[in-house]
Structures are given as structure tokens and as C-alpha cells.
Structure 1
């Protein structure tokens, strides 16, 4: 039996020269010395959120009991990063959304793409990445002091992540190393962990080397609004670039959440971030010919339905985008009318299956049967149920199945409510069949 030295010792020895390189990167030095621009700190948070999103979800999905003994739910840092990012997201009186340096985010997207592949093919390697991420706690005190004195940040105002590291990060890191050393990893797994840690910190050096004082487009490093600027989990897809359009997109997201709070109740602030990045992409699509835009919107709607978001919500999102955009940039109204064209197309197909009168009657009956007539949440639930049935009638699979874990969860809903959900689904389906039969008879 081979006796290995503690894995944490191997990692520390392998990473010492790389840690020295990372600490010497201009951005890291500027951050500690209170010279880093706030916009660059925000980009840092977004890069870190991209990384944590992949690492934490990869560890969650890994079917490996060894990882389960090392990775705990309490170790999550992504919610703290999102707390900080969301603080800086708001439009005035705080900051407008800040764009990101393209080369930095290109490298970051490549990094998370590689991490995502590793999570699927060799998830044990994520322990090496986690070692580096947990080790950041050792310098968190100095960074926290710099953020407070340099920008006036607090744990409630843009510094939740580093404040948590400063408070308990060192102890957590020691406990993590203890669990890592106790894990019976094979020689091959140990090699994967060490190599993954070295590769990760090397890529971080490349990314952070480009962070400090990015220059505006035309004079150096290009700065643009990216999907990950709005939503670190969005991936790499084009979005609109006009600052007023971006502001309108974010306002439309707020309006959607007010009108359909299901999105925030079920998906949390993640729902808002995806509304932002999806909305910016939808606005970008208005540069296409109308038919091409409609084709992409319909394909997008199909993907949403399988994730618990009926096409009705996409239609509403399109209308809110049109309203906000027309308000701030009326000179572009002709281009923005494509949003309404797509929304009207979706509504027309829905009405071919069920009239608004029938939908209203089913909604009213649901509210009455649940004893919640006039209750906004009941009305919203009925609309979602019927919308899911209509989506399935248009050939979109899993439209209702994806809603049921929320709308008919016995841990969250009483039995009479769940019974009424199923009755309403059945009545909507029968109403669709009856309308088709009438049309066929007339034809």
C-alpha cells in the first residue's frame, strides 16, 4: 500500500510559485493598496461568480461519495457573490451596469468551459480548484480592509463575499484541508487534483493580469456589455450594447417580476438575472429580419417551457421590453415593433386553441374552487397551469410536468389545491379538444 504525504501539503508546495505570481499581478496589488477601480472589482466579482457557479454545481451533481465527504452545502460562496453583484446591478442612485473588458471575459468564459468539461468527465479534479478558492480566505482580511477604506463597502453593500471570508474563511480552509487529507483518493486522483489546482491558478493569473485599468475601445482593451455582465451564469451570447437599452431591459425585468412573482419565488434572484440576460439578447435580435427573429424567439420559447417557464411569460417579457424601450428610445420604435410582432404571434396561436373568455372562466373557477377568489397568487397559478396546457397542445413536451414540482408540491401545497390544479389541467385539455372538434366539424 502506497503511503502518500498529506494532499494539502502537496498542493501547497506545487502552488507556492504560482501564488507568488498571482500576488504580483498589478490588479491584486492595486486591490490591496486601494488603487483598483471599482468597475474592475465588479468584473472580478463576476468572474468569480462564473467560476463558483460551475464548481459548486459540478460538485453537487458528482456521483462520488468521496466528494460528498469533502464538499458541504455550507461551503457555498455563490450566493454571497450574487449578493454583491446584485448590489451593483441597480440603476441610479447607485451605479448603472458597468461593461466588462472583452479579453478578460473571453479568458474567463474559456476557463469555465474547461471547468464544466472537467466536472462532467473527472469531477474529482474540482477539489483542486476548490482548494485554491478556499485558500483565498488567507488574504481576505487585507482585501476587506482595502474595500472598506477604498470604496466604503460593507458586508451589506458590495462586500458580502470577502467579509465572510475574513470572518470564518481561515478556519473553514483548515477544516477543508483536514477533510481533503483524510479522503482515500487514489494516486491518479491526487495527480488530477494537483494538476487542476495548478491549471486553475495559472488561468487566474492570465485573467487578473488583464484586469487592471482596462482601456476603452479604440485605445486598448475593448470594453463591452456581455451576457455575463448581466448574469454570470448566462454563458456567451450576444446582447444589445446601448446603455439606454440595457437600462430598459433591466426595468422590463422588474416589471415582469411584479406581474409574475412566480419567477422570483421559484427561481429566486437567479430568475431576475436570467430575465436581464435573456432580455438583452431579445433586444439584440431586433437587428434581424422579423421572420428570422421570430424563428429564434420561438425556439427559445420551446427551451423555456421545459424549465418551468411557459411561453405566456416569454410573451409578457417581450411586451414589457417593448414598453420600456419605446419609452426611452422612441426613435427606434420601428425596430422595437418586432418584439410586439413576436408576442402577438404567440398570443394568436394560443387563442386558436382557447379563447380569452374560456381562459378567464377557467381562471375564475380555479380561484373559486381553491377558496382564493380575488387572490393574486391563485390567479397567477391558474394562468400558469392553463399556459402549460396550451404549450403542450402546441407540441411542446414537458410544459406541464415542469410546472408541477412547484404548483403541485405536496410539501408546499395543501391537498385541495393540488386536486384543483389537476382538475383545471383536465378541464383546459378538454376545452382544447372540444374547440378542435368544433373546427373540424365546421370544416
Structure 2
């Protein structure tokens, strides 16, 4: 594989991912694998996640939009068919999904989609990280065979692709990175993709082992891991509407930028594009997937009322911008109605209307005057109420994720934190009784 002494861009790339590489070795998933103790549930979860990620990556690097990347892909062997074969061998469709891991894979698939449009060379960074992990494939497959009692290549075809063809690709790929990237911007995009993929995989590994049994379930990707969320629309009018809806939601809630920075803006857009794709599904299935995404995002600190707003805005944008004016777009409004009905089972509508003023009063009482915080407070009361409703309807962690950020002393001053805590306390008194 790589020579002992590296030069050129490949040396820089390895150096700039070295800390993440070192961190990965201490993760419980990797330790259990090397001790021949990895549970089948964790390994199948890993295969499912990689199928989602590679499904997105290979779609974009090998499709028409990846035309400029083709000089880097001589001898490339598609990994998705191998992963799907391994899942078939291990009866993956009958194995419970580790839902946080599925969610993490979908986040990475979304990032790949966004990069394919705005920063295509970042996809080479993803490929560097993902395929680079196969350098140890011959060792890893032995540990998997021992841990799971596998024979031959059954269930480990993905790791068994480590061979002469793979070595040819890998050395050509590294050489192309050294010699064929057009400029420093392209090189920085590769580094961004590589580090982003590495950090994403580390987060994924942590979700796969040990497994929190409360986080097991069934996600639609079990039926078709290749689809990821679902195919994102390619209709230019729908993409334009998704971009406008994503940015409108981003601008409506200043907390997005404060908490998630530029990355959050990209995902707001890609989520909107995914929501358009759900309109192709039967209503019940589409609503189920939207509720799943709303729940998943709430666990990461995005109260579900933000999803409601995005659904309404997306439906509005699709109307004038799509020449089709398809009846199926009404799925978006139906899903928004379901989400609204849920939160109104916890608080009445008047509480949501008054929550913003309630929070602003607490800011005033606590003498909060910093302009950054005043801007951040826009719609914050209704977001707090939504986080509480999400915690009651789904998991308490939905509330905790949002509340813990708002009361983080390393981020916010004490007067702001006091205002947040008091608002939560006052709203608790207005919750409907079960």
C-alpha cells in the first residue's frame, strides 16, 4: 500500500487526518472487533450504514455530475454491491436497525449530496477516508470471521475486496491526488471531505457499539439501503424550491446559525430536497418518514416546529415554481398537520403564540441586552415550547438536547441561562394534563 516515506499532497492529507485516525483506534467498536468480540448486531448496523453512505457517494462520483472526478477513479471497484451481498448473507433486513447509526449515515449521505453540487472534489476526500480503511481489510475480515463464525467470504465480501485490483486503484488514486488536482481550492476540498468523513465515521462507530437497546427499531432503509433517505429530486424547479425553503427556514430561526454554523445551512437545504422526494410515496409512508426525521433532528437540538415551518414553506415555494403543480405536494401539508396536532396535544395554540413574549420578558427581567443574544432570541420561546412537546411525545432527550445547549455556561452568560430556565419552568405549568 502506501510507501513508508510519503511525499506530495498524499503526505499532507495523511498528516491532516492523523489525529482523527489515532482517535478511531480507541473506540469501543474497534476494540471489540480486534478482540473478536464484536456482536453481529453491531456489524450488521455497520454494513447498513456504509451501504447508505456508499450508495450516495458512488451515485455522485460515478454519475454524470462526477465527470471531473473520473480521472481519479481508474480501476475503482464499486463497494455498494459487496455491502448489499454481505447484508443478504447475514439476513440484514431481519436485523433491527440501530436508529442513531442510520441517522448518522443519512447525515453523511446528505453532506455528500451537498458537496456534489458545491464542492465536488470533497467527494474524493470521502473516498480517501472510506476506501483507505480497506488497507487493513485482510486483518479485519479475520477478526470478523472469528467473532461471528463466518466461513469463506460469507458476510465479509466488502473487506475481501482488498486485493490486487484494489491496490492498483489505491496507488493510482493517491498518485492522481498528488498530480491532477487543479488548484489549492480543490486540495482544500479534498482535505475537508476526508476530515468530515473521518469525523462522521468516528461518530458512527460510537453509535454501533455498545448498543443502546432503546435505540433499536426499523427504518425504511432496511428495505433499500441503496436509497439512503430516498432519491433526492433532480427536477430543477423542485431543487430551486428546496433551496429557497431551506434558506427561509434557516433565516427564520437565528439559532440555526448560532448552533450549527454553515453546516446547518447546507443540511437545511438537503433536508428540503429530501422532503420533496417523499411526495412520491404513499401518504402514510411519507408522513411516517417525516415524523422519523423530525424526531431524529429533535434529538440533535432542532425542535420539530422547525420541520413544520419548512414543510409549509416548501409547499408554498413548489406551487409557483413547479410547472407540474402536482397534487402529491399536498403530502407536505398533511405531514405538517400531523406534527402540529402532536405538539397541540401538549400545549394549546395560545401557549405557542405567547411563548415568545414570555421569553422576551424573562430576558428583560434578567437585564439581557447583548445584541447577539437579542437576535438569537427571535422565536426562542416557541422553540422552547416545541422542545418540551417533543420530549413529552417522543423522548425526553429531545428536550434535554435543546435545553442543555441553551444553558451551557461555556456558551451563554448567566442572565440568559436564568431566563431560559425560568421560561421552561413557567411553560411546565401550562402543559396539558395527560
Q: TM-score range by the shorter chain?
A: 0.5 to 0.7
Out of 246, 253, 257, the residue aligned to residue 264 of structure 1 is 257
1:305-338 Cα deviation digits (max 9, x unpaired): 1111111111112122112211211532411111
Q: Residue in 1 aligned with 2:430?
A: 431
d(CA) in 1 for partners of 2:394, 2:189: 48
Q: Is the CA contact (8 Å cut-off) linking 2:362 and 2:423 kept in structure 1?
A: no
Q: Residue in 1 aligned with 2:198?
A: none
1:274 matched to 2:278: no
d(CA) in 1 for partners of 2:387, 2:130: 33
CA shift at 1:139, angstroms? 4.1
1:342 matched to 2:342: no
Out of 153, 161, 186, the residue aligned to residue 188 of structure 2 is 161
d(CA) in 1 for partners of 2:187, 2:16: 17
Out of 352, 355, 361, the residue aligned to residue 362 of structure 1 is 355
1:148-198 Cα deviation digits (max 9, x unpaired): xxxxxxx6xx55727999xxxxxxxxxxxxxxxxxxxxxxxxxxxxxxxxx
Residues 247, 289 of structure 1: CA spacing in aligned structure 2 closer, same or farther, 3 A cutoff?
same
Q: Residue in 1 aligned with 2:26?
A: 63
Q: Residue in 2 aligned with 1:168?
A: none
Residues 270, 353 of structure 1: CA spacing in aligned structure 2 closer, same or farther, 3 A cutoff?
same
Q: Residue in 1 aligned with 2:243?
A: 250
Q: Is the CA contact (8 Å cut-off) linking 2:247 and 2:269 kept in structure 1?
A: no
Q: Is the CA contact (8 Å cut-off) linking 1:58 and 1:116 kept in structure 2?
A: no
SS of the residue corresponding to residue 418 of structure 2 reads: helix
1:321 matched to 2:318: no
CA shift at 1:100, angstroms? 3.9
Q: Is the CA contact (8 Å cut-off) linking 2:304 and 2:386 kept in structure 1?
A: yes
Out of 10, 18, 26, the residue aligned to residue 4 of structure 2 is 10
Q: Taking structure 2 as the reference length, what is the TM-score of the superposition?
A: 0.52
Q: Residue in 2 aligned with 1:42?
A: none
SS of the residue corresponding to residue 331 of structure 2 reads: helix
Out of 280, 286, 305, the residue aligned to residue 287 of structure 1 is 280
What is the correspondence of 1:202-217 to structure 2 with a 5 Å cutoff? none
Q: Is the CA contact (8 Å cut-off) linking 1:54 and 1:115 kept in structure 2?
A: no
SS of the residue corresponding to residue 397 of structure 2 reads: coil
Q: Residue in 2 aligned with 1:382?
A: 381
d(CA) in 1 for partners of 2:259, 2:181: 34
Q: Is the CA contact (8 Å cut-off) linking 1:240 and 1:283 kept in structure 2?
A: yes
Q: Residue in 1 aligned with 2:419?
A: 420
Residues 296, 60 of structure 1: CA spacing in aligned structure 2 closer, same or farther, 3 A cutoff?
same
Residues 369, 333 of structure 1: CA spacing in aligned structure 2 closer, same or farther, 3 A cutoff?
same
Q: Residue in 2 aligned with 1:406?
A: 405
Name which of structure 1's ranges 282-291 and 312-321 shifts more when overlaid on structure 2: 312-321
Q: Is the CA contact (8 Å cut-off) linking 1:250 and 1:276 kept in structure 2?
A: yes
Residues 313, 52 of structure 1: CA spacing in aligned structure 2 closer, same or farther, 3 A cutoff?
farther
CA RMSD of aligned residues (A): 4.7
d(CA) in 2 for partners of 1:304, 1:53: 30
Q: How many residues align?
A: 276
Q: Residue in 1 aligned with 2:392?
A: 393
1:225-269 Cα deviation digits (max 9, x unpaired): xxxxxxxxx967421121221122112111111111222221122
Residues 59, 392 of structure 1: CA spacing in aligned structure 2 closer, same or farther, 3 A cutoff?
same
d(CA) in 1 for partners of 2:243, 2:417: 34
Q: Is the CA contact (8 Å cut-off) linking 1:369 and 1:420 kept in structure 2?
A: yes
Residues 235, 116 of structure 1: CA spacing in aligned structure 2 closer, same or farther, 3 A cutoff?
farther
Residues 317, 138 of structure 1: CA spacing in aligned structure 2 closer, same or farther, 3 A cutoff?
closer
1:286-309 Cα deviation digits (max 9, x unpaired): 011111111111112111111111
| Rg comparison, structure with higher value | 1
Residues 58, 267 of structure 1: CA spacing in aligned structure 2 closer, same or farther, 3 A cutoff?
farther
Residues 266, 52 of structure 1: CA spacing in aligned structure 2 closer, same or farther, 3 A cutoff?
farther
Residues 248, 162 of structure 1: CA spacing in aligned structure 2 closer, same or farther, 3 A cutoff?
closer
Residues 114, 418 of structure 1: CA spacing in aligned structure 2 closer, same or farther, 3 A cutoff?
same
Q: Is the CA contact (8 Å cut-off) linking 1:305 and 1:396 kept in structure 2?
A: no
Q: Residue in 1 aligned with 2:65?
A: 99
